[in-house]
Chains A and B, each alone.
Chain A
Amino acid sequence: MTATLTELETITADKIVDARGTACPGPLLEAKKGMGTVPVGSVIEIWSTDPVTKTDIGAWSAKVGHEFLGAIGADGYDRVFVRRGK
């Protein structure tokens, strides 16, 4: 289930994946790589300047069994939150 903006702002991610400056599919591949380094149930936060990342990561999460929590805008980039599901 997607979290509210207020809930997202209170999340402290277990890992931050800084994919700023990389174009599609870079952020998704970085997210996949980062997800492999944290235990199930952990939350990773992907930073991306590519505007399609939040929709791509949402679809990817549903496909591979993670929980897409949502995204919030930061200063020139998006912060995308995903909980590892498997």
Chain B
Amino acid sequence: MAGNEKLVFMVLHGPKEPEHATIPFVMACAALGSDVDVVIGLQADGVQLGRIGGVDNVEAAGFPPLKRLIADFQALGGRLLVCGVCLDSRGIVAPDQLIAGADVVGAYRFIAEITSATNSLVY
């Protein structure tokens, strides 16, 4: 699926900011459609996007529903990493409350993904 290029999107906004939460998944799906390897890292309130039911009814104007975008992202081979500390501080219990395929990680894993990427973007 993936070629030699890799993008990392760091998403720091949750469902209360639909555009900030949605656009990185739009970009990620477009990249995956071009055979670019993609990792999305959820930190701060962005971890809410990895919670089961966390994106129900989240839809930024003009964009597909976020729940569908995340499903497309995972179906296309995108990898979803979630900050463990950010989950703990919000009382979100992993893995029970996380969507399938979301991996809970620490700072070093994020750094390893970013330093091995062609480019990283922060939303």
A residues near B, CB below 8 A?
Answer: 22-26, 28-29, 31-32, 56, 60, 63-64
Q: A32-B33, A60-B33, A64-B35 are in contact. Are A25 and B26 (CB under 8 A)?
A: yes
Contact of B63 among A23, A29, A32 (CB under 8 A): A23
CB pair B64–A23 under 8 Å, yes or no, is: yes
CB pair A29–B72 under 8 Å, yes or no, is: yes
Q: How far is the CA of A24 from the CA of B33 in the complex (A)?
A: 12
Count residues of chain B with CB under 8 A from any CB of chain A: 11
Determine the chain A residues whose CB is within 8 A of the CB of B63 once the complex forms. Answer: 23-24
A contact face: mostly helix, strand, loop, or mixed: helix
Q: How far is the CA of A15 from the CA of B28 in the complex (A)?
A: 26
**How many inter-chain residue pairs (CB < 8 Å) link A and B?**
28
Which B-chain residue is minimally distant from A56 (CB atoms)?
B30
Given contacts A25-B30, A29-B33, A64-B35, 14 further A-B pairs with CB under 8 A are: A22-B64, A23-B64, A24-B30, A24-B63, A25-B29, A26-B64, A28-B33, A29-B72, A29-B76, A32-B33, A56-B30, A60-B33, A60-B34, A63-B34
B residues near A, CB below 8 A?
Answer: 26, 29-30, 33-35, 62-64, 72, 76
Q: How far is the CA of A59 from the CA of B8 in the complex (A)?
A: 21
Q: How far is the CA of A29 from the CA of B33 in the complex (A)?
A: 6
CB pair B33–A25 under 8 Å, yes or no, is: yes
Determine the chain B residues whose CB is within 8 A of the CB of A24 once the complex forms. Answer: 26, 30, 63
Determine the chain B residues whose CB is within 8 A of the CB of A25 once the complex forms. Answer: 26, 29-30, 33
Most chain-B Cβ atoms within 10 A of its Cβ — which of A31, A60, A63?
Answer: A63
